[in-house]
Copies of this chain bind each other. A is one copy, B any other.
Amino acid sequence: MLHAVIPAGGSGTRLWPLSRADHPKFLLPLTGTAQSLLQATVQRLAGLVPLERTFIVTGQPHVAAVAAQLPALPAENILAEPGPRDSCPAIGLAAAVIARRDPDAIMGSFAADHLVGDAGRFTATIRAAVAGAEQGWLMTVGMKPTRPEVGFGYVQCGDLVGDGPIRRVRRFKEKPSYAAAVELVDSGEYLWNASMFAWRVDVFLGELARQQPALHAGLVRIAAAWDTADRAAVLTDVWPTLPRIAVDYAVMEDAAAQGRVATVPGDFGWSDVGDFRNLSDLLPADRDGNVVLTGDAPARLAPVNGTGPDTVLVRDSHGSVVIASGGRLVSTLGLKDIIVVDTPDALLVCARDRAQDVKQIVDAVRRQGGPS
């Protein structure tokens, strides 16, 4: 039986000032509708997995917000991390908890803050990945690259498994330089690593035990206490001792070297919504190529087509992103390729081609104790 795990961590630094440590990207309605990225992720999985088998792994500070956004999700399906320890402890915790309940479970892992354009093709791809997982593969969903992106890792495909569409994965490749990314894409052998996985929980936990025995032991100990009165004590005791490590490095790289990883190429309009430039490629634009979102707070944004209502006046502007969530009038005149993001306590005005560098601003804001 398929279980869906949604690790909801990371603040989405490059979407500051919309995203904040206390109101991260996955809670924001950056989907082109009133839904948050998290809500859209859960809805996208609804055809594959019922809510009873859908799990969110998130930081303790976000449990209440997640529960509020997903009122139909059983409360016990929100797994609260006492502190951030990267993706392998988060995903491994879910795997260990699910394995206690259903040792034969298949588990898919899906980021909470990505967007998918074609839900039907997404579902078909995940079904193929689940079929591969049932055969014992550690499955990843690889995205057909549409540009030489330096912000993602890549997976190198090998031979087809049977008649396909599953292919063996020869290796994982970390974020490349631009020149290397051009080569990877031109080769036709590489797919983007979208951090979407499917596997049998026993297969994954076996690999974890082989490669990360201390992490595995800690997670098994926590899982054993999960449904008991000791959960909080064991978590407090064990969680801080777990290594901070991403699942790609902890498990997938060497598993690929051992011939245990396979992939399904996906082509369903996927985006990690990494920065404002990226966001503007996903949301509907007016005839001048401007993407305009408005709302009285970052949590209540909605797209505007055209020059918008009272809160936004966009004049003679092109290729720009205007996000008005500060409760005040935002006006632009004569802009070209500029990002304007207004919130109640912070404003960002940024060249579109510098959107990936917003982290520099956030770092400076943090250093001075500002709103981040």
Contacts and interface: CB of A to CB of B under 8 A. Distances in A.
A346 B335 CA distance: 17
A236 interface: no
Nearest to A361: B331
A354 B316 contact: yes
Interface string A305-341: 0000010010110000000001011111111101010
Nearest to A313: B364
Contacts of A241: none
B328 A347 contact: yes
A328 B316 contact: no
Nearest to A310: B368
B360 A333 contact: yes
A369 B350 CA distance: 29
A49 to B, nearest CB: 40
A342 B347 contact: yes
A363 to B, nearest CB: 10
A280 to B, nearest CB: 15
Given A310-B370, A365-B313, A357 B344 contact: no
A349 interface: yes
Interface in A185-238: none
A371 interface: yes
Q: Is the interface of A mostly helix, strand, loop or mixed?
A: mixed
B315 A360 contact: yes
Contacts of A354: 316, 333-334
Contacts of A336: 351
A334 B357 contact: yes
A345 B330 CA distance: 9
A242 interface: no
Nearest to A357: B333
A360 B328 CA distance: 19
* Most chain B CB neighbours (cut-off 10 Å) among A315, A328, A364: A328
A22 interface: no
A366 to B, nearest CB: 11
A348 interface: yes
A315 B351 CA distance: 11
Contacts of A329: 17, 345-347, 365, 370-371
Interface of A: 17, 310, 313, 315-316, 326, 328-336, 338, 340, 342-351, 353-354, 357-358, 360-361, 364-365, 368, 370-371
21 contacts: A310-B368, A310-B370, A315-B361, A326-B328, A326-B347, A328-B345, A329-B347, A330-B346, A331-B346, A331-B347, A331-B349, A333-B350, A333-B358, A334-B354, A334-B357, A335-B349, A335-B350, A336-B351, A340-B347, A347-B347, A349-B349
